[in-house]
A and B are shown apart, each in its own frame.
Chain A
Amino acid sequence: MSSKSGMFGAQGSGDTSGFGGLVRTAASTGSSERPYGGYFDDVADDLERAYPEFSDAIEQVVVDRGELTLHIKRDRLVEVAFKLRDTPSLRFEMCLGVSGVHYPERIGRELHIVYPLLSLTHNRRIRLEVSVPESDPHLPSLVEVWGGTNWHERETWDMFGIIFDGHPGLTRILMPDDWPGHPQRKDYPLGGIPIEYKGATVPAPSERRSYS
């Protein structure tokens, strides 16, 4: 997923201690295997029954920390969403929001969009996740399926630059209308200023030392 090396230690020298060259990569959780546990199996089975092209559309099913995440291909997103909303045994009536995550190291799948879903009738929660590359950050809008995603998609466009095709009015919502850039991307600076006080300057939070 991401790799970090600390700021502590010598670079480019004969450092054999490992401190300078310590690079840690965090692994991402892979696909889970059946049985998933709890109601997740029912959800997966019902979805497969309602949507026969299940294996085409779903890239990964991850069950981690008691939560089910379905990774979906972006061109199948709207169909799967309709099935999840309308199938009586699934009935995920509420989409609780749209959350974007930016992973700059995953070339080709940098921007992830996460939709937590809630079923009021069955009292269940699942999560949908879609990945898009930075070079082509388009995916279909879910405003037709759940109207509440309107502002959430605007926010995700504003903060990450993800374009939702079919959105009725994809404009900036949190930043001023003419703001350049997408603030919550990892390559956008935090924008803090160094704090001056008598005799010392404290750098902005993004410029400070970190040892981990």
Chain B
Amino acid sequence: MRTSGVVVDWNGINSMGLEEKLPAGFALTTVENLAGYMRKNSLWPATFGLACCAIEMMAFGGGRYDAARFGMEVFRASPRQADLMIVAGRVSNKMAPVLRQIYDQMAAPKWVIAMGACASSGGMFNNYAIVQGVDHVVPVDIYLPGCPPRPEMLMDAILKLHEHIGSEKLGVNREQVIREVEAAALAAKPTHQLKGLLA
């Protein structure tokens, strides 16, 4: 089991589902595997193509880099029907509230891929107009670098997300994972104290 980076506690997901009642053990693991398998195999992306990365996202949905083989060719316009928001392109300050609103309108479980350098960190546009990374606005699961990333890179990011979704824990296991991730984040060294090759 790996404690991967972001485990998002979607607001108020105090569901009365089966997985909340099961004690940790064989039954819960089976439900986790089944739920994970079903969730990852037909992720429907929400259309959030903004700029150049959107064109590569469309190419990913096209014939050569077929998204339909993952069940993802239906880009749902309505966020209520979408699971995955691929933020493709630069998010300006004017667009940020709209981005947040669309994210909030999506129903849990939902995931976010920040596609491209501009969505991950502001990219080459370090200025007044662009949000320096959509993680200022929405919680991000996968950061995908590139300007723009090739459709194969987007496919790689989505497959990694599939693995992540397939192995997500539910119920009491999930609470434990959240606790572990929080403890790790509190104990982690801050970025400016890390010593890389530049120091």
Binding site for B on A (CB under 8 A): 175-176, 179, 183, 188-193, 195-201, 204-205
Contacts and interface: CB of A to CB of B under 8 A. Distances in A.
A183 B128 contact: yes
B187 interface: no
Interface size range of chain B in the complex:
10 to 19
B132 interface: yes
Nearest to A201: B192
Contact of B194 (A175, A190, A198, A205): A198
Contacts of B17: none
Contacts of B14: none
B199 A190 contact: no
B196 interface: yes
A196 B126 contact: no
Contact of A176 (B93, B192, B198): B93
Interface in B97-154: 122, 126-129, 132
Given A175-B94, A176-B94, A199 B199 contact: yes
A183 B198 contact: no
25 contacts: A176-B93, A176-B94, A183-B128, A189-B128, A190-B126, A190-B128, A191-B127, A192-B128, A193-B122, A195-B126, A196-B191, A197-B196, A198-B191, A198-B194, A198-B195, A198-B196, A198-B197, A198-B199, A199-B195, A199-B196, A199-B197, A200-B196, A200-B199, A201-B192, A204-B126
Nearest to B96: A176
Which residue, of A183, A188, A197, has the highest number of chain B Cβ atoms within 10 A?
A197
Interface of B: 93-94, 122, 126-129, 132, 191-192, 194-199
A197 B191 contact: yes
Contacts, number: 49
Given A175-B94, A176-B93, A176-B94, A197 B198 contact: yes
Contacts of B198: 197-200
Contacts of A200: 196, 198-199
Contacts of B128: 183, 188-192
Contacts of B191: 196-198
Contacts of A198: 191, 194-199
A180 B194 CA distance: 37
Contacts of A192: 126-128
Given A175-B93, A196-B191, A199-B199, 20 more contacts: A175-B94, A175-B129, A176-B93, A176-B94, A188-B128, A189-B128, A190-B127, A191-B129, A192-B126, A193-B132, A196-B192, A198-B191, A198-B195, A198-B196, A198-B198, A199-B194, A199-B197, A200-B198, A201-B192, A204-B126
